A and B are shown apart, each in its own frame.
Chain A
């Protein structure tokens, strides 16, 4: 990975972290999208799409409802995909190391997100005081500062994750400890995770079970007809 690519991924980390909840929430931070963008940055778009789909399957069931705490799936995907795509083409994809780095990055992103929420909470108290004192531009300033600090934290987490992930990759890539798996097995594992998490999420009654069965039968029939 070149310095330019690493810098681009760090900037992407800032955008992904902001998109997760502090700002846009346009789903640029979803694993499917992050994986594809990482693939484009590292000039391996097809592999990026595969790793994005894999992490989308793994993190599909995380729902940001109420006070739920959950790993930062976007930063996890950024680090995991970047590590997987940086392995030499001569070895099998180091899926074990990539998933481990992703899990650790997701947990770190969750902690940093909690820290940012508390920080923003203190800022909100400060904004009230400023508005009470007659400074009506305080909310706008607080939002701008909140975005800047979110971007800095997202970029920081990405930089740490990429450094650790790529540094570790150099040590484990040619050993069994990287979890080398053939591409076909990775696709099967991702499809299994997608099936399990999707079924768990949606099949909650007889009518949805029927829809699930219809989807299954239709696809098998379609493949059967195509031979």
Chain B
């Protein structure tokens, strides 16, 4: 429903720009088009649309057509930038760090810190987006081409890679306390999950990560049962 949500979010601005309900209804209808973008960067689109809406309200020739065309172009650009930064980089990196800390300490504080850290970036981008989009106006391309986006995403993914390596190091150390049996169990699980997730031609993976994990659990349970507590 991002289309309806977009129209609802922009409606207070339209109320101020168009006192006549009929004109306001026409402009609201124009913003009910689907706006399939990233939820955090969509606010930049809202600010930008409000800025161009001012031109439409002033009666600039072709402003409504320009607004419609630019919004269509903007939604996919915002979607690509936001997805790469938030879904591919920021969320999983914090997920690796938060889960590792929770596994190591058994403390729910790790979950709280994860939630605060995620929203510190996501909600500030969301909050500042309206202003940034409104201020940029025709210079919206400069906002999208700002090196901040690619740099932030790259640094975050590198941190995620380092955190994943660190998890392996910590797990190996913990497994080694159980002797050869502990390390063998860890290697078996890791190898199985890795192999199960390999691509099988164009038909996706052998097993989804969650099904592969269930298979691992079942196999381990059988082993534990058979060896009657012989595992760490």
Partner-B contacts on A (CB < 8 A): 22, 25-28, 30, 32-33, 35-37, 39-40, 45-50, 52-54, 56-61, 63-65, 71, 76, 95-96, 99-100, 102-103, 106, 120, 123-124, 127-128, 131-132, 134, 136, 139-140, 142-143, 146, 176, 179-182, 184-185, 187-203, 207-209, 211-220, 223
Contacts and interface: CB of A to CB of B under 8 A. Distances in A.
Contacts of B179: none
A176 to B, nearest CB: 5
Contacts of A140: 8, 11
A29 B92 CA distance: 14
A32 B99 contact: yes
B211 interface: yes
Contacts of B21: 134, 136
A32 B169 contact: no
A185 B220 contact: yes
A182 B213 CA distance: 16
B125 interface: no
B96 interface: yes
A214 B162 contact: yes
Contacts of A207: 158
Given A65-B83, A103-B211, A127 B99 contact: no
Interface stretch (B44-52, B66-74, B109-117, B141-149): B109-117
Contacts of A30: 91, 95, 114-115, 118
B186 A56 contact: no
Contacts of B159: 211
Interface of B: 1, 3-5, 7-8, 11, 21-22, 24-25, 28-29, 32, 34, 39-40, 83, 87-88, 91-93, 95-96, 98-100, 102-103, 105-108, 110-112, 114-115, 118-119, 122-123, 157-175, 178, 182, 185-186, 189-190, 193-194, 197, 209-211, 213-214, 216-218, 220-221, 224-225, 229, 231-232
A189 B166 contact: no
Contacts of B102: 32, 36, 49-50, 52-53, 56
A127 B3 CA distance: 10
9 closest A-B pairs by beta carbon, nearest first, are A198-B164, A215-B165, A219-B169, A36-B111, A215-B162, A191-B171, A215-B166, A216-B165, A53-B102
B152 to A, nearest CB: 15
Interface residues of chain B: helix, strand, loop or mixed (majority): helix
Given A32-B111, A56-B95, A65 B161 contact: no
Contact of A195 (B29, B118, B171, B216): B171
A45 B28 CA distance: 47
B96 to A, nearest CB: 4
A57 B99 contact: yes
Nearest to B115: A33
13 contacts: A27-B114, A36-B102, A37-B111, A120-B4, A127-B4, A134-B25, A139-B5, A180-B221, A182-B231, A188-B185, A193-B193, A208-B157, A220-B169
